[in-house]
Chains A and B, each alone.
Chain A
Amino acid sequence: NFMLTQPHSVSESPGKTVTISCTRSSGSVASNYVQWYQQRPGSSPTTVIYEDTQRPSGVPDRFSGSIDSSSNSASLTISGLKTEDEADYYCQSYGSSAWVFGGGTKLTVL
């Protein structure tokens, strides 16, 4: 099956914009939706982006998702960073009866 590769960590200052990538190893990233989850320390994950670009109700519009077929990757962009955005972020997709998570990216807002 395929793998989803994320950077281990990213850091940025409050108010800035950060983008986290998620590269699919095989098969097209456009063939199945990509979801993004936020996990704060000690908490269960929550969805911040679903179906590549959709934001659940309650998630600020500072969070946006996209896919790029040329690089076979998905991206999560967070603008106007706040200290409360500091968390682990995971991408996830489905294919061939398997649900795959990326390795996770630790976002530090400093």
Chain B
Amino acid sequence: EVQLVQSGAEVKKPGESLKISCKGSAYTFSSNWIAWVRQMPGKGLEWMGIIYPGDSDTRYSPSFQGQVTISADRSISAAYLQWSSLKASDTAKYYCATLTTVTSPFDYWGQGTLVTVSS
């Protein structure tokens, strides 16, 4: 069974850095895109960016370009989302999800990682 397991909830202060992870299993990690999706409290889904672990092709939503960094480590089937300097407005739940091709649906989703940024 395909699974995406995300790292646990985080509580951080403004200005701190953070890297959250998404580990895939039971599928060919390198051959599927992994996307990151933000959901702010009580709000909708927002696509942040996507990476193809096979060649590290990475694309960002203009809304998130320069605000976050997406990476992947094929050797351990993991994808990452990181911030260098968190803001209170980064408080949200972050999901990773797989796609087979760019036009396919977000097939499998992780359980989400809640990030709380508060002084």
A-B contact count (CB 8 A): 56
> When the two chains form the complex, which single residue of B44, B50, B109, B111 contacts A104, counting CB atoms closer than 8 Å?
B44
B35 neighbours in A (Cβ, 8 Å):
99
Number of interface residues of B (CB under 8 A): 22
A3 at the interface (CB under 8 A from B): no
A33 at the interface (CB under 8 A from B): yes
Show 18 residue pairs from A and B whose CB-CB distance is below 8 angstroms, ordered by the A residue.
A33-B103, A33-B104, A35-B105, A37-B106, A44-B95, A44-B111, A45-B45, A45-B97, A50-B105, A90-B45, A98-B59, A99-B35, A99-B61, A100-B47, A101-B44, A101-B47, A102-B44, A103-B44
8 additional A-B residue pairs with CB within 8 Å, beyond A37-B106, A45-B97, A50-B105:
A32-B103, A35-B106, A44-B110, A46-B109, A47-B107, A90-B45, A98-B61, A101-B46
